[in-house]
């Protein structure tokens, strides 16, 4: 006589914040799926809703609180985790009926809370989980987190108080995860952390065995090994994010020139004026950085450099801001994001004198965006007529497609809009003739083999 299997509980997930938080969400869901839970895409069918929060800026905290409130209103059975979970008392005061609260990367606590509040009915069967784990990103690209925490004490940041000091993962564990992802179909690996350049500092760059050879827990060794991974469709793109410009970063540029790494660096410069960098407690060798950028481009002409900058930091003068604009003229960065300074509870910058008025912040923000848009437009115009490799993100029914060049990370950079893209599919990497450009995006047509 056939037996009816018990219906496993369903878990909903709301994931907020940065890619590092997204990786946390993927790990939690992978573990829960392997434990027999099913996933729900809506509140109505979920037995429990997980809200992975962000707590970096006050605006991000408010967004997280709104997400918790929505989940409570729509479902009522909510477990909170992530950065804002470190402020459990505040969350409890606002939402006293949440089932459980845990902080950043406390995977075991989250999973235990789910087991306690929505236990899986006993079953002799085990549900299978994909080799690469469950993912919240499209199948063709994956974030690869190599460490937690940060040893820096930047005046505007509270990440160390939330996530602690740097804790690097074993390099063999990182490479094993990357290999599984690539074998499962990942065509692009995005390496992330709070400080990718510092990978392995806490473990004194310990050595592990990988594929019969010794490799150090060091950014350069990791980058070289990732660049040699092979998947069913060849080598993946490997993109480095959150790279502080330590001297050893120079050593990864030749790997880009050789084609082992995607020619792209995401470096959080934050500012250029020495006085502002000092107040931020950031390195202030901006002149040497310009020399190094030039040297990098001599080695790898196609390298794309992305960065982010804070305007309106306490004490920033008009001269400081003009210094930044002039520096950007020299640096000619490919992709730039800018943020108005926003006080964060617990950050040392809140106690600094001479706050910049909000109207001045807005005016400076508009000027830096105008400056960087003009630089971007000129750089993209220079690509018209070139043939560039792109990765396909989405194909539409009208024969067009959205893609990205090697200079474009997902979600934060530009798009390459394609015409006549019939026959292509998500994750394909193909050559494209660039026909046009605007301030941020490219337009082109795939080159078909003859």
Instruction: Return the sign of the alpha-carbon dihedral for residues 310, 311, 313, 319.
Output: positive
Q: Please write the tens of the pLDDT for every residue from 247-297.
A: 999 999 999 999 999 999 999 999 999 999 999 988 766 668 999 999 999
Average pLDDT over residues 69-80: 95
Rounded to whole angstroms, the Cα distance separating 193 from 189 reads: 13
Per-residue pLDDT, 137: 79
Residue 109: pLDDT band with limits 50, 70, 90: confident
Rounded to whole angstroms, the Cα distance separating 223 from 21 reads: 22
- Of 207-216, 277-286, 432-441, least confident by mean pLDDT is 277-286
Per-residue pLDDT, 34: 84
Residue 127: pLDDT band with limits 50, 70, 90: very low
Per-residue pLDDT, 36: 84
Looking at residue 9, what DSSP letter applies?
Answer: P
Judging by DSSP bridges, how do beta strands 335-340 and 401-405 pair with one another? Answer: unpaired
Average pLDDT over residues 386-394: 96
Answer yes or no: are the C-beta atoms of 148 and 106 closer than 8 Å.
Answer: no
Q: Give the best-scoring range by mean pLDDT among 16-25, 56-65, 182-191.
A: 182-191
Judging by DSSP bridges, how do beta strands 416-418 and 401-405 pair with one another? Answer: antiparallel
CB contact set of 5 (below 8 Å; sequence gap of 6+):
123, 125
pTM tops 0.85, yes or no: no
Average pLDDT over residues 91-103: 92
Partners of 338 in the beta sheet? 309
Looking at residue 348, what DSSP letter applies?
Answer: G
Domains of the chain from N-terminus onward? 10-117 (3.40.50.12160), 141-381 (3.80.30.20), 387-446 (2.40.50.140)
Looking at residue 356, what DSSP letter applies?
Answer: P
Residue 388: pLDDT band with limits 50, 70, 90: very high
Measured CA distances, 72 to 77, 119, 148 (Å) = 7, 20, 30
Residues constituting the chain:
450
Mean pLDDT of the chain: 90
Is the predicted pLDDT of residue 71 greater than 80, yes or no?
A: yes
Average pLDDT over residues 338-367: 92
Average pLDDT over residues 380-397: 96
Q: Determine which helix (DSSP H) or strand (DSSP E) holds 50, and give its type and residue range.
A: strand 48-53
Per-residue pLDDT, 450: 38
Neighbours of 35 (CB within 10 A): 17
Q: Please write the tens of the pLDDT for every residue from 25-53.
A: 999 999 899 888 999 989 999 999 999 99
Is the predicted pLDDT of residue 3 greater than 70, yes or no?
A: no
Per-residue pLDDT, 145: 93
Q: Please write the tens of the pLDDT for every residue from 138-189.
A: 889 999 999 998 888 888 887 888 888 899 999 998 998 999 999 989 999 9
Per-residue pLDDT, 395: 94
The residue ranking higher by pLDDT, 449 or 303, is 303
Provide the greatest CA pair distance for the chain.
83
Count H helices, E strands: the chain? 12, 20
248: exposed, middle or buried (Cβ count in 10 Å: 0-12, 13-18, 19+): exposed
Residue 428: pLDDT band with limits 50, 70, 90: very high
Per-residue pLDDT, 287: 61
Is the predicted pLDDT of residue 121 greater than 80, yes or no?
A: no
């Amino acid at each position: 006589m056939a037996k009816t299997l018990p219906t496993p509980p369903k878990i909903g997930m709301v994931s907020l914040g940065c890619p590092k938080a997204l990786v946390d969400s993927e790990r939690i869901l992978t573990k829960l799926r392997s434990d027999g839970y099913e996933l729900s895409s809506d509140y109505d069918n979920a037995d429990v809703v997980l809200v992975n929060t962000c707590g970096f800026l006050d605006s991000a905290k408010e967004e997280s609180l709104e997400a918790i409130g929505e989940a409570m209103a729509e479902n009522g059975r909510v477990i909170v985790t992530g950065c804002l979970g470190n402020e459990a008392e505040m969350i409890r005061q606002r939402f006293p009926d949440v089932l459980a609260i845990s902080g950043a990367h406390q995977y075991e606590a989250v999973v235990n809370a789910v087991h306690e509040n929505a236990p899986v009915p006993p079953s002799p069967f085990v549900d299978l989980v994909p080799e690469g784990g469950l993912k919240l990103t499209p199948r063709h690209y994956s974030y690869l987190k190599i460490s937690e925490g940060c040893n820096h004490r930047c005046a505007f940041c509270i990440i160390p108080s939330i996530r602690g000091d740097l804790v690097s993962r074993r390099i063999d564990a990182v490479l094993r995860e990357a290999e599984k992802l690539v074998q499962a179909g990942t065509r692009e690996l995005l390496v992330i952390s709070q400080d990718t350049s510092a990978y392995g500092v806490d473990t004194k760059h310990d050595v592990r065995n990988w594929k019969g050879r010794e490799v150090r827990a060091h950014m350069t060794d990791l980058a070289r090994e990732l660049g040699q991974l092979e998947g069913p469709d060849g080598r993946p793109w490997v993109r480095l994010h959150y790279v502080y410009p330590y001297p050893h970063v120079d050593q990864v540029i030749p790997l880009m020139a050789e084609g082992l790494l995607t020619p792209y660096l995401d470096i959080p410069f934050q500012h250029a004026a020495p006085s502002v960098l000092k107040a931020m407690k950031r390195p202030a060798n901006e002149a040497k950085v310009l020399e190094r950028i030039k040297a990098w481009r001599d080695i790898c002409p196609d390298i794309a450099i992305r960065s982010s900058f804070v305007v309106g930091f306490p004490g920033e003068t008009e001269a400081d801001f003009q210094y930044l604009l002039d520096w950007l003229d020299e640096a000619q960065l490919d992709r730039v994001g800018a943020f108005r300074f926003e006080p964060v509870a617990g950050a040392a910058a809140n106690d600094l004198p001479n706050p910049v008025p909000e109207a001045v912040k807005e005016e400076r923000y508009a000027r830096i965006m105008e400056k960087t848009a003009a630089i971007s437009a000129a750089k993209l115009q220079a690509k018209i007529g070139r043939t560039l490799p792109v990765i396909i993100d989405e194909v539409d029914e009208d024969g067009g497609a959205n893609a990205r060049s090697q200079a474009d990370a997902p979600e934060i950079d530009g798009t390459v809009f394609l015409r006549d893209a019939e026959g292509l599919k998500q994750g394909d990497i193909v050559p494209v003739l660039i026909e046009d450009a605007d301030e941020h995006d490219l337009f082109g047509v795939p080159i078909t083999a003859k």
